[in-house]
Structure formats: C-alpha cells, structure tokens
Amino acid sequence: MMTQLGIQIIPTMPVDEVIATAVMAEELGYDFCLLADEGFMPDVYVALSAIAQRTQRMRLGPVTNGYTRHPAVTATAIATLDDLSGGRALATLVAGGSMVLNPMGIPREAPLTVMRETVAILRALWSGEEVSWQGKRYALQRARLHSQRRHNIPIWLAVRGEKMLELAGQEADGVVLVAKSDVGPALAIVDQAASGRSTPCQRIYMDRIAYTPKLLEEASALYAYVLMDSPPRMLDGLGISADEIAQIRQAMATGGPKAAMPFVRPEMIQRYQLAGTPEECRQAIRALVDEHALDAVVMNITTPGIEANRQLLTDIYSLVHG
C-alpha cells in the first residue's frame, strides 16, 4: 500500500504541544501536517511558522476558510509559510463551520461563492503578478505579494456538499473526504466534474480513528454532530433509519452529546469512521486505499498531552504502514 500519511491537529492543546506533536510526526515518518484554523485556539500561522523552523521534510499548512480571514490575507500568510519552510506549504480550504463562525457573529452566507473566489484569489496572488480582480464577494485592486518568488502551492478542498465536490473536481489539486461510507459516492461526483482535466485531482481521506475504549467513547459522543451537519447523501450512506436520525437529533437538542450517546450503536460509528479493534481499523484503511485509489490518508489528532500524542501517532503509523 503506497500512500502518503499525514495528520491534522485540532489545536485544543497548548501551542507548545501543537509544535511538539508536529515535530514528532516528522520524526516518525509522516508526510504532511495540517493545522486547523479554529479561531479561538492557538493561532494557526504562528504555530506553523514554529513548526516550519523545527522540521525539514513534511509539507505544512492550515485548514482554513474564507470567512474569518480575507483570502488575500490568507494568500500572504501561506506564501510566507512557503518561503519560511523552503517550499513546503500546503493549503486546505473548508466551507467554515458554526464552531468557528458563530462566536464571531459571522453568517455562513454563499459558501460556494466564498470557496470559489478564495481559490481564485490564492492562485492569482501566488502567480507573483499584480492583480486587479472583481468577484461577487471579494475584490482586489492592483494587489501584489511582496514575496521573493512565485508560489506553486497545492490547494485541497475538504468538502461534502455536491456543488462543493464538483468545484473540487474542477479546480482543486486535491479533495479531502471525511466520511468512510461516503468516499465512493463523493468521488463519483468529483470524478465526473474532473473529466477532461489535464492534471488529476488527488484523493485524500481524513478520519478520526477509534481503536481503544476511550477513543470509541469519544467517537460515540461526536457522532451526533455528524447527523446535525451532514448533507442528505451522506445520511443515506450511514445506513440508519429516519426514526433513528430523529431520535439522536432530538436527544442532542435537549441534552447535548451525552444524552445522544445511548442511541449510538457501535456499528453506526464503524460505518461512518475508522473504528473497532486495531486489526479492524488496519483492514478498513487498506480496503479504502485499494478500492478508491487514495493518494493520502489524514488522521485527526486532538488528544492533549505529549505522551498520549506520541502513542497515538505511533499506533496510527503502524496501522497504516505496518
């Protein structure tokens, strides 16, 4: 199984732990590190700059959106990271979620337009040319990056909706897929939109693995959020009834994740994400890579604590490459 392996760090831990976790990932052989731009958690570009100076090989980049930062600001920040890291920057864009946008009072309006125009602005500014550009939401007037060179930085889109998947197929260097049962249907949309492209859109699968009782309990608590945010296509692929969905949503609305957990069965979790015994997880990863010709696998790292992160990174590497 020849596929790249990366991590996405959700920076719920102090910034020094974020940096140490990324450095450990490179030492263990990981190919790239993504860092979530979560608004009120440690700043993504400050942390990535420190990581760039303590690593030599991994690709590095934010998972960010076009709402909380103007795309021109994002273009400048990622170009700076690219300079600092010796050309190792990678950009991953998401549509923006309520966890980040709501505390800032930012409405999630016209997400497809925001995503499309963010991609356009990043590429235009990274060309090194002076840019005057007018979109529906953003505009540039004689804008140019003060960088030493042009930047050929890959852009990945982590998306779920049909229109967003089509955009990824048409415009992105890679598409990041986030539900095990939906990889096939989502890639079918991407592939159809990508027909006729001269360069392929890379296929990346992102997941949060659960192979211990504690991790399985965490997955059960998070499952209700899946039902709150997923488009109908993804809900259909989960293999649960409309009554079960309504039951979990109602429990979530009245009592939060803990109230919803009793209604979440292990097989529900396994259909959505990598979960089960270590061997079951290993087999599921290999099946996904082989069946869908995946170019990379990304694992979410949210566990605070250096030693806990070291163990998780070691276990994941063994499951994927062992």
pLDDT per residue as tens digits for the range 119-129: 999 999 999 99
Bridge partners for 158 per DSSP: 176
Amino acid in position 115: M
The CA distance from 159 to 153, in Å, is 19
pLDDT reported for residue 234: 85
Could you give phi then psi for residue 6, rounded to 5 degrees? -135, 175
Structure-token match 């990043």, residue found: 122
Exposed, middle or buried by CB within 10 Å (0-12, 13-18, 19+), for 147? middle
Structure-token match 């440690």, residue found: 42
Q: Which of 176, 184, 185, 179 is nearest to 275 (CA)?
A: 179
Specify the pTM: 0.93
Proportion of the chain above pLDDT 90, given as a percent: 74
Proportion of the chain above pLDDT 70, given as a percent: 99
pLDDT per residue as tens digits for the range 164-208: 999 999 999 999 998 899 999 999 999 999 998 889 999 999 999
Helical H runs in 88-212? 98-101, 111-126, 162-171, 183-194
Q: Which of 90, 73, 66 is nearest to 151 (CA)?
A: 90
Exposed, middle or buried by CB within 10 Å (0-12, 13-18, 19+), for 47? buried
Could you give phi then psi for residue 206, rounded to 5 degrees? -115, 135
